[in-house]
Structure 1
């Protein structure tokens, strides 16, 4: 059900391997930073008491053109650094590896297990399909550092084949899934579950702040929330299916008028790995009509940029609380006087047959989102 279509369609620049000249006056961290690669900070004292100071961590993650949010993790000993898409809509951790020689792998950094003293291999293979793109790989175990939190014996997928073009232009070297273990390919234990079982967190939760307008400053926090990144209170709603981060939606309004489309219940998957807001396919035409959008020759829905401020506000009612999306949230400026609607259709219902929405980055830029594994609930607060 994973949807990475919008992420990968919008990324147009392929990047090759970066060779970094290391001068004696520059640290490796500085040299990498100049290339846009940020190593996660690790407290040097952690090697003496690796679990003593863990508990919570906030890490800056990259925003590429409001379509992809990714950041640095390290795998292995000594650490090898990779950019991974942090994805609440899937459960597996995988990275490009030296076992893969397709074009998608050859344009990215590859993990070399032979250079890690803590790596142990398995003979278990896997296949992972996404909405766009798929890969084959094998599982291994190694030490993983996410934002200074060190996880021992984390199962890692090493790609062996990435067919097609979808991952060729991706800005990331792999994906770190943050959903429930029940949807993990091969039964791999997700990173979050190992953080929990190894008692690495003060609270078994994580939270996202997604920056907008292509600006940097996005933050992923583990073990707690960052109160400087949201306003007012966090409103909680229960997870309805411990697969994806799936929640119930009781109402959908256009300019304050209830449509009745979710009066019998809708479901939504909260998904940082999908860049758009995704609506049930049978409702898309009505929504576009209300917005006054016209389809162009590429199938994209466009509006007149000068009219954006006059477009309707779309509001979701979740556990009795209204979450409005103003037009500035769902209209995407594509260049000079070209404005598209950041809403795409899905034709799949939820597992219980209710209409399915996907709250992708278009929604999540407006609302700081908190994912609580202890209480199996999702929290939203107005983003700062």
Structure 2
């Protein structure tokens, strides 16, 4: 979960927004949420900063009913319009959902850490639950010409103590000589596969050509060709996902039976490097176990590691794709260029 500050209204009202490259609809809790007769619904809202339309001189009512689902949180409310700011970038007349009901699903508690999501999808991301489709903050930045360049860059933090960086309208010039540029492809988000539709519709997709793992224990190197495969990039999901048969090959290679198991991070050095070839030039991106593994802390305060390779649920017309979440993306400085229609990746040597 990657959080930035976002403000809405005049004077500005602050919110904590998840930076999500596969989200487009903007939403915030409303002060009207506190008027709900259900006290449990009110309590869910009180964990959040809430938007007060009466306190903003630039607020304009839209009053269209709207519902939304975002990673286990369901919201209902109306559409509203107001000015927004992220850092020194501001746009006017942004339409967003003003949620008068905020309902996390059972056992969902991570929503207490954020109030909104800053959607940086290239296209409008399709969510089959949402019943509204409005111009995203990123689209408004481009249309209102408030960016120096139609580009944004991300350096994701790898630990809770580390700060990341979001650059809107520019790039980190220290990576100019090392960045590898990958052309984006546009595969229609159609069919019945909800995983594919949700992430492909956001538009950050590139060609993939192979996946390989170095030798492990008594197993020699594992080479998996990916002919005509699509790699979907997202920071809204932590793991990397592969077709079920491919995930089974990886599990056999690593002598692993349950992807949810954790283990002592002291064993991390035994695991192999992973290489993914992307783009028409088949650029090879190598990840060490220190890069692709997740670190968690168990109930006894011990540092534990988990593997990020998970099987996709394949139920649609696009079986030839892989999903690369932050287990991949956080290892690289990333530039997203809307005009050139490219993603640039550069290795970060601050590991």
Given the two structures, how large is their TM-score scaled by the length of structure 1?
0.74
SS in 2 for 1:215: coil
Tell me the equivalent position of 2:194.
none
What do you get for the CA RMSD once the two structures are aligned? 2.4
Question: Residues of 1 paired with 2:303 and 2:139: CA distance?
Answer: 46
Q: CA deviation at 1:289?
A: 2.6
Aligned to 2:207: 248
Partner of 2:256: 293
How far apart in 2 are the matches of 1:158 and 1:131?
Answer: 18
1:105: Cα distance to partner? Answer: 2.0
The answer for the alignment partner of 2:185 in structure 1 is: 239
Give the aligned partner of residue 198 of structure 1: 144
Structure 2 residue 223 is matched with structure 1 residue 259: yes
Q: Which of 129, 145, 154 is residue 94 of structure 2 equivalent to? A: 154
TM-score by length of 2: 0.81
**Alignment-derived partner of residue 304 in structure 2:** 338
Correspondent of 1:315 among 275, 296, 319: 275
Aligned partner of 1:353 in structure 2 is 318
Structure 2 Cα separation of the partners of residues 339 and 293 of structure 1: 14
The 1-side partners of 2:90 and 2:71 are apart by: 31
Q: Structure 1 CA distance, aligned partners of 2:155 and 2:69?
A: 27
Specify the SS of the correspondent of 2:247: helix
Which residue in 2 is equivalent to 1:183? 125
Q: 1:189 to 1:364 in 2, by over 3 A?
A: same
More deviation in 140-149 or 124-133?
A: 124-133
Residues 113, 207 of structure 1: CA spacing in aligned structure 2 closer, same or farther, 3 A cutoff?
same
Cα distance, 1:258 vs structure 2? 5.9
Aligned residues: 312
Q: 1:100 to 1:108 in 2, by over 3 A?
A: same
How far 1:232 moved relative to its partner?
A: 1.6
SS of residue in 2 equivalent to 1:307: helix
The Cα offsets for residues 184-217 of structure 1, whole Å up to 9 and x where unpaired, read as 6522101111111111112111111012132322
**What is the CA–CA distance in structure 2 between the aligned matches of 1:233 and 1:358, rounded to whole Å?**
21
Match of 1:31?
none
Give the CA deviation at 1:165: 4.3
Residue 270 (structure 1) aligns with: 233
Q: Per-residue CA shift, 1:311-365, capped at 9, x if unaligned?
A: 111111101100112111222232325321133333146x751333222221121
Mapped pair 1:116 → 2:80: no
Q: Give the match's secondary structure for 2:31.
A: coil
**Aligned equivalent of 1:46:** none
* Equivalent of residue 67 in structure 2, options 127, 141, 166: 127
Q: CA deviation at 1:127?
A: 2.4
5+ residue gaps, structure 1, are 1-67
In the alignment, structure 1 residue 74 sits paired with structure 2 residue 4: no
Which position in structure 1 is the counterpart of 2:25? Answer: 92
Partner of 1:59: none
- Whether 2:221 is the aligned partner of 1:279: answer no
Partner of 2:218: none
Shift of 1:173: 0.7
| Residue 266 of structure 2, aligned match among 306, 322, 326 | 306
- Could you say what secondary structure the match of 1:250 adopts? strand
Q: Distance in 1 between matches of 2:265 and 2:167?
A: 35
Distance in 2, matches of 1:303 and 1:73, equals 38
Contact kept? 1:97, 1:160, Cα under 8 Å: yes
| C-alpha distance in 2 between matches for 1:125 and 1:269 | 32
Structure 1 residue ranges, 4+ long, deviating more than 6 angstroms after superposition: none
- The corresponding residue for 1:44 is none
Flag the 1:272–1:255 CA change in 2: closer, same or farther, 3 A: same
1:119 and 1:317 mapped to 2: Cα distance?
A: 48
